[in-house]
Amino acid sequence: MANGESEVGADPAGGFVQLLTPDGERVDSVTTAEGVTYSVSFTDEEYRGLYQDLVTVRRLDAEATALQRQGELGIWASLLGQEAAQVGSGRALRPQDMAFPTYREHGVLYTRGIDPIMPFGLFRGVDQGGWDANEFKFNPYTIVIGAQTLHATGYAMGITMDGKTGAGDGEAVIAYFGDGATSQGEVNEAFVWSGVFHAPIVFFCQNNQYAISEPLERQTRIPLYRRANGFGFPGVRIDGNDVLATYAVTRTALDNARQGQGPTLIEAYTYRMGAHTSSDDPTRYRIASEVESWKAKDPISRLKTFLVKQEIAGEEFFGQVDEDARTLALSLRERVLAMPDPQPVTMFDNVYPHGSPLLDAQRAEFSRYHASFEGSAH
């Protein structure tokens, strides 16, 4: 391989911010080479809350995967393995912050307090998303890779233009994307613009090692977080399977942004344990031992080990969390199955705010055509 000397494949141990080891050991604080110190101070209740979040989003994800396998969803993009990156960053957001997700941020969505059923219309095929970004501070899922990073940048520019930065109660934006997206021109344009306009934005890259089948080496010759240097803002790599480090670094980056200190790129080093989507077959491009090695770095088991060792939670709590997650998942299942198919004529709705005579004519023709079958055996 021409890129044999690349640092990308190197073990990132020591090369990322980690506050909770895979063995469940707490690291008090980490100081980066740039001299920035990261730590968290959570109450026992907050630790238990993070654990509950992680278990819940994994359980809901499993239910969605099952629904897809049973033919009830057209497709599902699983977050399995990336729970800590999503819960940690999502919980780091303040209420006034705006998130621009890809199509996999179900965990972030959950931490925003949004009903987890919201994206299921998209995956079941009854709509294309259908929610209001401003109502939920969570933009509709964007499927074209990287396109949302520019939307996030523009929104962040708007925050500055509105004078909503420079204080602790200022607003900030988080833009989610993956390792594959970093090759997109639009993502690089988003970096340029955010740097130039000093926009209050955090670029949160979940490096899950694969863009469908293509490994990270096909996207980059340097660690992704170091790309930020070239655009003039800081880049930080975190253990994306560590919910504590993810929270600490994302919270700091968002607060820096809202206080007018400009963008940060966070590379959350993680692993997609499942397929890219339910249409994918990862056995064609990666070996089982690699997946096994990442199981040892599981985001949930390390937090559980920590909670047990510190006597923050016991079997009763864990059992209750599992039971609550199961109840939520089954309720979600029932509600997904009850989702009505849209009336076909509604496909003509919401193309233009001010409508169009062309669509009016086609809608009328569509209705006339279908009405012509009424009462027939067709």
Partner 1 sequence: MTETLTLGKALNHGLRRALESDSKVVIMGEDVGKLGGVFRITDGLQKDFGDNRVIDTPLAEAGIVGTAVGLAIRGYRPVCEIQFDGFVFPAYNQIVGQVAKMFYRSLGKQRLPIVIRIPYGGGIGAVEHHSESPEAYFAHTPGLKVVTCSNPADAHVMIQQAIASDDPIIFFEPKRRYWEKGEVDLELPLDRAYPLHASRVAREGTDATLIAYGPMVRVALDAAAAAEEDGRSLEVIDLRTLSPLDLDPVYASVRKTGRAVMVHEAPSNIGLGAEVAARVTEECFYSLEAPVLRVTGYDIPYPAARVEEEYLPDLDRVLDAVDRAFGW
Catalytic residues: 272, 276, 285
At 281, list the tokens. Answer: 């077959």
Shortest separation between residue 104's beta carbon and partner 1, angstroms = 17
Pick the closer one to partner 1 by CB: 9 or 130: 130
CA–CA distance, 323 with 260 (Å, rounded to integer): 43
At 30, list the tokens. Answer: 């980490």
79: burial class by Cβ within 10 Å (0-12, 13-18, 19+)?
buried
83: burial class by Cβ within 10 Å (0-12, 13-18, 19+)?
buried
DSSP string, 15-27: SSB-SB-TT-PBP
Pick the closer one to partner 1 by CB: 172 or 329: 172
Strand order in the sheet with 201-207: 98-100, 173-178, 201-207, 264-269, 235-239
Shortest separation between residue 193's beta carbon and partner 1, angstroms = 5
Pick the closer one to partner 1 by CB: 46 or 127: 127
**Which helix (H) or strand (E) is 238 found in, with range?**
strand 235-239
Shortest separation between residue 196's beta carbon and partner 1, angstroms = 6
DSSP string, 72-90: SSS-----TT-HHHHHHHH
Pick the closer one to partner 1 by CB: 36 or 133: 133
Shortest separation between residue 77's beta carbon and partner 1, angstroms = 16
Shortest separation between residue 348's beta carbon and partner 1, angstroms = 10
Positions touching partner 1 (CB under 8 A) are 100, 127-135, 139-140, 142, 144, 147, 149-159, 161-162, 185-186, 189-190, 192-193, 196, 349-354, 356-359
CB 136 within 8 A of CB 112: yes
Show the CA angle centred on residue 247, arms to residues 113 and 313, nearest 5°: 80
At 28, list the tokens. Answer: 């008090």
Pick the closer one to partner 1 by CB: 24 or 125: 125
